[in-house]
Every structure is written in structure tokens, then in C-alpha cells.
Structure 1
């Protein structure tokens, strides 16, 4: 199910005990208790338990040399009720107002994803030349929330699965690396969060042929397709 994006400042129920809202230039997702999380975020990256999940929009010319420090200051100023140690945060120059919010359910497996996308920085892993210095703007940020417990290994398995789904979806959308013309597998600055509810017997696998992985891939594909199309339409108009 594709959700209607919440009006600024209004909460959108995502899963039991999990809600999201658009707040200024940020997407904030909050959990009523800590969720086990694997994140590549500039803040709160790694594996740990988090309650607050942020995707912050910055200007396309953002060139802060100490982005983590600046991001912490931003969060303390704007979200003082979100302890830094309980937060993981991503950044993007894509419009968070055009984020795709998607839910999927099969039996007792429930998933919600929130995706923002810009593809001006599209690249083909292993083909696009590496660069030095600051990256170009254009980022795909994926946040996925699973309403059941996963082992840490299964969390990493879920990251693998959604990354494969992202790359497949970009090819289906015809996105190519602008430098080489190769099919894009992502962008040079993509980030990801996968969070699972704690408690109960944890699932040990989340690969692409498991129920969790299949549902996750479907949700990511639907959300990414919506977000990329919105981005392409907006940049074409611009």
C-alpha cells in the first residue's frame, strides 16, 4: 500500500508503535521503544538500538567539512526531545517533501519504508571512476522498518536484499551512470537504515527468497520507483 505523504507536522502511522512525520526539511520516524537497527547514517551508523530515525534535507551546495558535528547541532536545536545516542540520521539534497511512504503486509510480516531519491549522482558500482573531494549532489536514502525481530545477521541480510532491489529497480527505470553510460546500481552517496522490532524469537534470514526479503524488496521497489519518478518530473520542470 502506498501511503499518502503526511502533511507537514502531522504524524503518519507506519507500524504499531512507529510513526513518521515531515518536519520542515526533515523526515522524522519515532518508535515507542528501541528497535534494533543497521544504519550507514552519518550519525548513529553501525548496529545498535535506536528510537529516532531522521532523513534531513540539505542544500545541494552543502559542503560542511565536519558534517557529523553540524548535524548533531542541528538535531539538538530542532529535535531536543530526540537523544543523540538514540538517533540515527541520514542527509540528502533530494526533496524530502517528495519522499515515498509505502507499507507491505503478508501474514504476520509487516514492513514500512520511507524513500527519498535523487539520481544526478547515479553510478555503476565498479565501473564509475572514483573521485576525490566532495561528492556531487544526488542521493538515494532508504529507511525500512520490519515489525518483527531479526538477528544482527538477518539485519545485514536485509540490507543486502534491499540493495539488490534498489539496483534492479534503477535498471527498470532506465537510470544510467552519466559518466560511463552503464546501468546505474545506485548513487555515490546512498545511505540505508533497516530497523526491526525487538522481542520474540528473532528471524535468522532476510534474503531475497524469504518472506521478509520478498516483502522488503517489493516495498523498496515500489517506493523507489515513486520517488525517482517524482524527482525526474520535478527536475524536468525545473
Structure 2
């Protein structure tokens, strides 16, 4: 089974800021769009950290590297940031696939909106971490990213949003480094099908809570919760 994340904190700006930490017992193969540890290759840990909605550091990769060093993490890992409280992570599993999603929908967008100009963004962010129990081929890993993204968009539509995500969404799909290789990761493949169902369920549940409360981590601190 995939390692469960631990909820920990770092001291920043006078506050205990939450982050989720996965320490993998052994390196896993990953494909990720993350600003730190993105690409395809072995990874030894993963961090998903809350930040203020006013977050504007031009070097989020360096910031995440600092957080990793503070946690005593070594080797190559993946770093994600989000404006929501990562303590609200939603876990879902389906036929051996495990998914963890932190869902911030304060600034939903349509990817191909013709009126969109520039990169103006807010760190609301939907971050998805997924694990399959069988080694996926490189093509299957990339296909799995597409499958998870399609499932996310399906969940957003069911939540009543005319949106495909936010401008800062990120994903990481992980699998074992060794063993028989699965060649496919599409939504009707052996592992893509349960991946799609688990992502859909996690984003639907997390999105419903986020839309109902409209609270970011910054709001929670301001409210003393």
C-alpha cells in the first residue's frame, strides 16, 4: 500500500502553517507537473504545503526546497503548494489505487477561455496525488495524468462550475519502480479506470466542501479556527 501522509507544520510569518508530508519507504516512479520535482523519474518524498492566498514568491521551487531541507528531507522529491488548508485533504481509493486531493476552487477557469490574457493567477489550486500498485510504462504514466485531469473536470462540471480547473492545478502520479509494466493509463485501462473513479470522488467531495465554505488557509487563520 501507498504510504499515508503525515500532517505537520512549519513556522512562518508568526503562524504554524500546515503541510502534508509523504516519506516513501523506497523510491517510487513519478510523473508530476510540480514546480519542484516535476517530470518523470524516481522520487523519495512528497510535500503538499499550504500558503497564504496573497502568496507571490517568484521562486516557489526554492521555497519548497527550503521547506524540504527544514524537514530533513534528502534526495529527490516532489513539492506542491496550495492556498487551501491541507488538513482538509480528501482521500479516496478504488481497486488498489489511492488518491489524495486538496481542492481549492476560489478562482476556477476554463482552460481555453478566449478572453483569458496573461498568467494572472491565485493559489487556490487543486492538487492531486495518486498511486497505482503496478509499475506504469512512461506512456501510461502520461496517459494517467490525462485520465486524472479528465476525471477532475468531470467532477467540477457536476459541482456546477463552468470550469476545467484553476490556473495553478498540479498533479503527481506515482507507482512502483519495478515489476511487470502496465502499458496503458487511459480511463478504460486496468489502472486508469479506478484512478478516474478515485480522482472524481475525491475532487467532488473536496470541491463541495470548498465551495460551501469558501475558506482558504488564510481565512482560517484570520478567523482563529
Task: Judge same fold: TM > 0.5, yes or no.
Answer: yes
- Which of 58, 77, 102 matches 1:87? 77
1:75 Cα deviation (Å)? 1.8
CA contact 2:42–2:177 (8 Å) conserved in 1: no
TM-score, normalisation: structure 2: 0.88
The equivalent residue for 2:144 is 158
Q: Deviations over 1:9-43 (max 9, x none)?
A: xxxxxx25x23111121111222111110011110
What is the SS of the residue equivalent to 1:171?
A: helix
> Which residue number in structure 2 is paired with residue 136 of structure 1?
122
SS for the counterpart of 1:102 is: strand
Which deviates more from structure 2 when the two are superposed, residues 204-213 or residues 125-134? 125-134
4+ long deviations beyond 2 Å? 128-134
In 2, the alpha carbon distance for the partners of 1:217 and 1:128 equals: 28
- TM-score, structure 1 length as denominator? 0.83
Instruction: Tell me by how many angstroms 1:118 deviates.
Output: 0.9
1:199 match? 178
- Asked if structure 2 preserves the Cα contact closer than 8 Å seen for 1:117 and 1:139, the reply is yes
Query: Is the contact between residue 22 and residue 28 of structure 1 (CA under 8 Å) also seen in structure 2?
Result: yes
Deviations 1:169-213 (A, max 9, x none): 1001101xxxxxxx2011111000000112211100010111211
Cα distance in 2 for residues equivalent to 1:91 and 1:220: 19
Taking the aligned partners of 1:103 and 1:157, their CA distance within structure 2 comes to: 19
1:49 aligns with 2:49: no
How many aligned residue pairs are there?
208
Secondary structure of the structure 2 residue equivalent to 1:141: strand
Structure 1: where are the runs of 5+ without partners?
A: 1-14, 176-182
Pairing partner for 2:112 from 118, 126, 144: 126
Match of 1:5 in 2: none
Contact 1:63 1:134 in 2 (8 A): no
Choose from 165, 168, 182 the match for 1:186: 165
Q: CA deviation at 1:133?
A: 5.3
SS at match of 2:42: strand
1:131-170, Cα deviation, whole Å (9 max, x unpaired):
4355123210010011111111110010010011111110
Q: Look up the SS of the partner of 1:199 in the other structure.
A: coil
Mapped contact 1:43–1:90 kept (Cα < 8 A): yes
Using the TM superposition, give the Cα deviation of residue 51 of structure 1 relative to its aligned residue in structure 2, in angstroms.
1.7
